[in-house]
Amino acid sequence: MTRHLLLIPAALLAAWLLTGVTAVRPGERAVVRRFGAVVATPGPGLWVGLPWGLERVDRVPVDLVRRVAVGYEPDSDPDVPLPPGQLLTGDQNLVNVQVVIDYAVRPDEAAVYVAARDRVDGAVSRAAEAALAEWVAARPVDDVLLTGKAVLPGVLTARLRERLEPLRLGIDVQAAGVAHLTPPDEAEVRDAFAAVTRAQANIRTQEQDAAAAAEALLRTARAKAYEAEQAAAAQAHERVALATADADAFRRRLAQYRRSKRTNADALAALWWEEMGGLLGRLHAAGRIDLLDGYLGPDGLDIMQIGPRMKK
């Protein structure tokens, strides 16, 4: 009986000692605090330390992206005079804005996050509200409603990283997004802004169509210019080739004349009649001249009607 009674404290002691064994899963970082002081931040694996009461181990998911919603709640009470997220624009109009902020714990600052995690979401919300109010107040309502969803995410991400860094929260802002951006829920105002949005979309469509048409005309003009350049280059090359051939032929004839002149005093006359024969042949082929045989009659050569005949 006494032995069984002794087993109970031994089992309790073993169970208490086993509280010092902690399994850190993949994607987590453990923060080990011994008597309140951080002594280690092990990664995934098995951590064996002091039992409960002497040592505390907090497992922090560092691959988990946390989200904080800031601003207007679409399901909020419509009778509230000034609901959260209803901001004043630079031209004294109201807009309802809700943004979402995604952040993750930095693996090398898990201990910093554990110390500050109770105030992380609140600090992110306050910083996002301030940055959002500044951006909206600096612009007219048309600019806010038409460009907010495209511009705000980048602006908020940059400003939150800058403002949260000095607070040492151990987090990194991943991204920001606009979940809700509308004018106050009044039929007349809503319809007016819807009409403005449609008009702006129509303007952008027409601009895109005009740009596409201009680009098509520019491509056509470039193609025609290229064709004209190629034709001009080909014609110039052809004329240069013909001129070069004529020059080469002239130099060959000149060399031939100089050789013939040494042995034949009438070499120049022979070249003259040779060239004239070719010229007369071309003129005859073109119908510019004809033989005199056609003008012979019973009384001899009739030159009263002499003149070039049309080539049949």
Q: Is 265 exposed, middle or buried (0-12, 13-18, 19+ CB in 10 A)?
A: exposed
pLDDT (0 to 100) of residue 312 = 46
What's the start-to-end Cα distance of the chain, in Å? 146
User: CA angle 193-138-185, nearest 5°?
Assistant: 30
In this structure, are strands 296-297 and 171-182 parallel, antiparallel, or unpaired? unpaired
For residues 89 and 278, give the distance between their C-alpha atoms in angstroms, rounded to a whole number: 93
Q: Where are the domains of the chain?
A: 2-61, 66-185, 200-263, 277-312
pLDDT tens, the chain, 312 aa long: 566 666 667 666 666 655 666 777 888 888 888 877 887 888 787 766 667 667 788 888 999 999 999 998 877 666 666 788 889 899 888 889 999 999 999 999 999 999 898 999 999 999 999 999 999 999 998 889 888 999 999 999 999 999 999 999 999 999 999 999 988 765 445 666 667 677 878 888 899 999 999 999 999 999 999 999 999 999 999 999 999 998 888 888 778 777 777 777 677 777 777 777 777 677 767 766 666 556 666 666 555 554 555 444
pLDDT (0 to 100) of residue 10 = 64
Neighbouring CB atoms inside 10 A of 105's CB total 25
Domain boundaries 66-185, CATH class: alpha beta
Q: What is the pTM of this model?
A: 0.55
pLDDT (0 to 100) of residue 249 = 83
Could you tell me the strand order of the sheet in which 55-61 lies? 37-40, 28-34, 55-61
pLDDT (0 to 100) of residue 297 = 65
CA 190 vs CA 80, 94, 149, 197, 230: distances in Å: 19, 12, 17, 10, 60
pLDDT (0 to 100) of residue 163 = 94
